[in-house]
């Protein structure tokens, strides 16, 4: 670990812990009750480097959350710092709306170099407001404008963001239910089944489940009494992130491409979390070879700073000047940090490394299932890994899966934090432990993550077993 030694506000020991506690206390008192990660991780980060975060109390953690998948190169990577420093030193304006700048030009070059050729050749880019959800809104609006249609096809388990249109397309009932109309303000959404072998919507699992999901979609759209007016777009994730690291089979994705193309429905692939090497390919669409009509990008494309874009086929470029504006579309530092990150990931073959390390981690975790049967399923793609935690003695369903065990999953997460490992829960009922380490994770760090996670799972298993015996 190479975090440079600097003096902390309270350097160590009890006084440092007390200082951290009072910061946490003030946050609890003053911030919104929607605080999220801060609830599971009551730590006060002071410095970070690579995949290590150090708290103001001097405790160190391996960060397998990476800013929810934003930090492809981990914290404070030298190429990102150098790009930011160089831009600051150059005196470039830090905010320019959507004016042309050398940094934007360079970012666009770097981005287009990474795109599948068939897509890049016909691509247009639109810089959106800075968050992933802004880019999702832009993509939906673009396709509504281009097609003159309104509705959207979206999937069970999907996560697209928290603003109206993105929330409407999102699957999570928990975030929609408290909003009157359940997020309906974002427009009419037809919910389709996403292939999820372990909790198959058709109760069969495996390839057959994915085939049925495709057949259902095709027949519903073809049915003149199916109730679905031809929509403006279909939006999907090639690997569902917040949904629990659920990868769609390549064959199913190709079916979605065929079905949408045959019906003249634009296909939007949301690569906000899967992009920039995370899944073992630069863009997750490359695994299946599909060419979408639009891709939504954020998180890692800004090198850790806020940046979001949509890239789409020029055929859909029907917006009038000013049709989709926004103040924060010209973040020069994010463009410089993003261009440096995009190029580094390509130059260093980090997508390939994500594929190799991810396969190793997944295989090791999968190998623990017989010994630690609260591991119900290990899945994902590249360094986007999910471990679904189940009740090891619950009844098997028709797919051979056991019931979710969110309390045990929370115990695993808490046990990991005690061991100095930060990782997030996601998926149905928050029962999937999610690993999103930076793509630069070393072999040594990989081993530490696996060791700490295995110990925490074993501890939760013993706790569960003790509870059952009592």
Verify binding: residue 136, ligand PLP, rule CB under 6 A: yes
Which residue's Cβ has the minimum distance to ligand PLP?
Answer: 132
Q: What is the DSSP letter of 390?
A: B
Site stretch for ligand PLP (CB under 6 A), options 31-39, 157-165, 364-372, 430-438 = 157-165
**Pairing mode, strands 60-63 and 421-422:** parallel
Question: Taking a C-beta distance cutoff of 8 angstroms, is the pair 371, 465 a contact?
Answer: no
Verify binding: residue 242, ligand PLP, rule CB under 6 A: yes
Verify binding: residue 388, ligand PLP, rule CB under 6 A: no
**Alpha-helix residue ranges (DSSP H) falling in 31-172:** 37-40, 66-69, 78-90, 102-114, 117-120, 132-147, 164-169
Verify binding: residue 157, ligand PLP, rule CB under 6 A: no
d(CA 228, CA 195): 20
d(CA 270, CA 68): 15
Site stretch for ligand PLP (CB under 6 A), options 137-145, 146-154, 245-253, 267-275 = 267-275
Among 55, 74, 157, 161, binds ligand PLP (CB under 6 A): 161
d(CA 350, CA 279): 10
> In the bound complex, what is the minimum distance in angstroms from residue 436's beta carbon to ligand PLP?
10
Site stretch for ligand PLP (CB under 6 A), options 17-25, 235-243, 403-411, 452-460 = 235-243
Question: Taking a C-beta distance cutoff of 8 angstroms, is the pair 252, 290 a contact?
Answer: no
Name which of 158 and 214 has its Cβ closer to ligand PLP.
Answer: 158
Verify binding: residue 65, ligand PLP, rule CB under 6 A: no
Name which of 246 and 456 has its Cβ closer to ligand PLP.
Answer: 246
Interaction pattern, residues 88-127, with ligand PLP; x per rule: CB under 6 A: ----------------------------------------
Q: Pull the structure tokens for residue 456.
A: 């925490």
Name which of 241 and 376 has its Cβ closer to ligand PLP.
Answer: 241
59-96: string of b/e by CB count within 10 Å (b at 16+)?
Answer: bebbbbbbbbbbbbbbbbbebbeebbeebeeeebeeeb
Verify binding: residue 233, ligand PLP, rule CB under 6 A: no
Verify binding: residue 237, ligand PLP, rule CB under 6 A: yes
Neighbours of 450 (CB within 10 A): 17
- Categorise residue 54: left if φ over 0, alpha if ψ from -120 to 50, beta otherwise: beta
Verify binding: residue 275, ligand PLP, rule CB under 6 A: no
Name which of 270 and 391 has its Cβ closer to ligand PLP.
Answer: 270
Name which of 242 and 388 has its Cβ closer to ligand PLP.
Answer: 242
Verify binding: residue 159, ligand PLP, rule CB under 6 A: yes
Site stretch for ligand PLP (CB under 6 A), options 13-21, 153-161, 370-378, 388-396 = 153-161
Verify binding: residue 66, ligand PLP, rule CB under 6 A: no
Verify binding: residue 231, ligand PLP, rule CB under 6 A: no
Question: Taking a C-beta distance cutoff of 8 angstroms, is the pair 342, 110 a contact?
Answer: yes
Neighbours of 108 (CB within 10 A): 17
Verify binding: residue 381, ligand PLP, rule CB under 6 A: no
Among 50, 116, 241, 275, binds ligand PLP (CB under 6 A): 241
Question: Taking a C-beta distance cutoff of 8 angstroms, is the pair 46, 55 a contact?
Answer: yes
> In the bound complex, what is the minimum distance in angstroms from residue 460's beta carbon to ligand PLP?
26
Restricting to residues 293-312, name those near ligand PLP by CB under 6 A.
Answer: 298
Site stretch for ligand PLP (CB under 6 A), options 23-31, 78-86, 266-274, 282-290 = 266-274
- In 3D, which of 80, 118, 159, 215 has the Cα closest to residue 426? 159
- In 3D, which of 402, 418, 406, 407 has the Cα closest to residue 453? 418
Neighbours of 24 (CB within 10 A): 14
d(CA 307, CA 309): 7
Restricting to residues 198-227, name those near ligand PLP by CB under 6 A.
Answer: none
Verify binding: residue 272, ligand PLP, rule CB under 6 A: yes
Residue numbers at the binding site for ligand PLP (CB under 6 A) = 68, 131-133, 136, 159-161, 237, 241-242, 270, 272-273, 298
């Amino acid at each position: 670990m190479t975090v440079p030694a600097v003096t902390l506000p309270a350097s160590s020991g009890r006084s440092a812990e007390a200082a951290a506690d009072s910061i946490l206390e003030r946050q609890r008192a003053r911030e919104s009750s929607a605080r999220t990660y801060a609830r599971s991780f009551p730590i006060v980060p002071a410095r970070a480097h690579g995949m290590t975060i150090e708290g103001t109390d001097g405790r160190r953690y391996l960060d397998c959350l990476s800013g929810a998948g934003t930090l492809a190169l981990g914290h404070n990577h030298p190429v990102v710092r150098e790009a930011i420093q160089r831009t600051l030193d150059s005196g470039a304006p830090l905010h320019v709306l959507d004016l042309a700048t050398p940094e934007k030009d360079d970012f666009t070059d770097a981005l287009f170099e990474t795109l599948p050729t068939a897509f890049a050749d016909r691509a247009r880019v639109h810089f959106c407001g800075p968050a992933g959800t802004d880019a999702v809104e832009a993509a939906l609006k673009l396709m509504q404008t281009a097609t003159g249609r309104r509705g959207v096809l979206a999937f069970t388990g999907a996560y697209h963001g928290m603003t109206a249109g993105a929330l409407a397309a999102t699957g999570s009932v928990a975030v929609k239910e408290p909003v009157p109309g359940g997020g309906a303000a974002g427009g009419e959404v037809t919910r389709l089944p996403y292939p999820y072998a372990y909790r198959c919507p058709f109760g069969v699992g495996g390839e057959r489940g994915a085939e049925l999901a495709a057949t259902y979609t095709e027949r519903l759209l073809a049915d003149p009494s199916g109730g679905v007016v031809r929509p403006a777009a279909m939006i999907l994730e090639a690997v569902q992130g917040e949904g629990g690291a659920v990868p769609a089979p390549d064959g199913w994705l190709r079916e979605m491409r065929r079905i949408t193309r045959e019906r003249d429905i634009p296909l939007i692939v949301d690569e906000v979390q899967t992009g920039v090497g995370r899944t073992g390919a630069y863009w997750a669409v490359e695994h299946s070879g599909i060419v979408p009509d639009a891709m939504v990008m954020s998180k890692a494309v800004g090198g850790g700073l806020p940046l979001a874009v949509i890239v789409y086929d020029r055929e859909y470029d029907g917006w009038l000047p000013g049709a989709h504006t926004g103040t924060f579309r010209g973040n020069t530092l994010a463009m410089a940090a993003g261009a440096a990150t995009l190029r580094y990931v390509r130059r260093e073959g980090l997508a390939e490394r994500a594929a190799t390390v991810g396969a190793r981690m997944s295989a090791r975790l999968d190998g623990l299932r017989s010994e630690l049967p609260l591991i119900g399923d290990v899945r994902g793609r590249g360094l986007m890994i999910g471990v679904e935690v189940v009740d090891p003695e619950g009844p098997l369903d028709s797919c051979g899966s056991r019931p979710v065990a969110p309390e045990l999953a929370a115990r695993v997460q808490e046990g990991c934090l005690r061991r100095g490992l930060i990782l997030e829960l996601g998926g149905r009922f928050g029962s999937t432990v999610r690993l999103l380490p930076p793509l630069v994770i070393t072999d040594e760090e990989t081993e530490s993550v696996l060791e700490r996670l295995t110990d925490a799972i074993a501890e939760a298993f013993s706790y569960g077993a003790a509870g059952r015996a009592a």
